[in-house]
Amino acid sequence: MAGSSAPSHWIGRGATARLLLPLAALYGGVAAVRRRLYRWQWLTTEHAARPIVVVGNIAAGGSGKTPVVIWLAERLRAAGHTPGIVSRGYGRHDRAVRVVEPGMDAEWVGDEPALIASTTGCPMVVGADRPAAVDRLLALRPDCSVVISDDGMQHYRMARSVEIAVVDEAVLGNRWLLPSGPLREPVARLREVDLVIFNGPASDALREAVAPVPAFTMKLVPGQACRLDGAAAQSLAAWRGRRVHAVAGIGRPRRFFEMLGEHGIEAVAHAFPDHHRYTAGELEFPEALPILMTSKDAVKCRSFAPADSWEVPVDAVIDAAALNILVEKLADGQSPA
């Protein structure tokens, strides 16, 4: 988790992490009881008129859900579905249920929903109350055949038909529950999902921990760098040997910097916290160089970034067998969990 804004004690099992273990035990106990209450139907689970596919994780911090949501929406549409998307919209001004309109400011809907909606063209609604967001989406677009929930794995009031867990092993840290570590739920929870997508390499021990759940590795492949004003686009090969400012306000900024380095680009790294709200002054660097940034940053900086600023989009490459598993589960009409 180096380069992220995560607490340093989440990485190892040092004194601070151990000191917080009683709170972690309390957190885990409350979470386990809450989940059982939903399973036993003592707390109400709200079912939707369409199947819901949750794309979530078990850890606090960025695991790479956004590229998976975009991949899933595009592949389901190609398979004949009409997907809609809901999300909490982390980092926005309020918690209200809100329709994501084209070109809407990320401050009102969240940076990830703004990116997902603009990339996929799917109808999208954000809201802290996830079932209410689903209801609003289906009222707006009753033609949706499936709803993708960006995050919401621990939002058990919302029934789901399929669960996909996105796992970046580095983000799992010391594998302890909050606040001792980064986990919202224990690693054993991964054995209860329908599909695991590893963002990057996964150790043999982690693969064994999720078995027998089908697991696939996602590779993020960069596309052409596009100037934020839309005036030009260049392959990363054209940037080889050049020195640039690299801006990343994502869960693991180092991943972006390393990707540029792999393409022969000398990156002056500028890491910001995940979901950072930029100001124009933060992009004014002493050395006059082009600025390359992630798509998640570009949706927030487009209106004020310097002229020589470029977005580097990435596409998720995932084995087609993963999609086949999901399509089969949707076709089987698997009952919501």
Write the pLDDT tens digit of every residue in 118-154. 999 999 999 999 999 999 999 999 999 999 999 999 9
| Rounded percentage of the chain residues whose pLDDT exceeds 90 | 90
Tell me, what's the pLDDT at 337? 41
Q: What is the Rg, in whole angstroms, of the alpha carbon atoms belonging to the chain?
A: 20
CATH topology of domain 8-219+318-331: Rossmann fold (3.40.50)
Task: Taking residues 321-329, report their average pLDDT.
Answer: 95
* 75-80 contact pairs (CB < 8 A, 24+): 75/323, 76/146, 76/148, 76/323, 76/326, 76/327, 77/122, 79/323, 79/327
Inter-residue contact 84 to 100 (CB < 8 Å): no
Please name the amino acid found at residue 250: I
Tokens describing residue 70? 């975009």
Residue 111: CA count within 13 A, CB half-sphere: 21
Q: What is the pLDDT of residues 177-201, one digit of tens each?
A: 999 999 999 999 999 999 999 999 9
> From edge to edge, which strands make up the β-sheet containing 314-317?
98-99, 124-126, 83-87, 146-150, 52-56, 162-167, 195-199, 215-222, 314-317
Mean pLDDT, rounded, for 300-324: 96
pLDDT more than 70, % of the chain: 97
Mutual angle of helices 320-331 and 65-78, in 10-degree steps = 60
pTM of the shown model: 0.94
What's the pLDDT score for residue 2?
A: 35
Residue for token pair 């850890």: 59
pLDDT digits (tens, 9 = 90+) for 73-132: 999 999 999 999 999 988 787 889 999 988 888 889 999 999 999 999 999 999 999 999
The residue that leads in pLDDT, 335 or 282, is: 282
User: If pLDDT is split at 50, 70 and 90, which confidence band does 286 have?
Assistant: very high
Q: So what's the pLDDT on residue 331?
A: 87
- Per mean pLDDT, which range of 22-31, 37-46, 64-73, 91-100 is the poorest? 91-100
- Flag whether pLDDT at 3 surpasses 60: no
pLDDT at residue 1 greater than cutoff 80 = no
Q: Report the mean per-residue pLDDT for the chain.
A: 94
| Domains of the chain by residue range | 8-219+318-331, 224-312
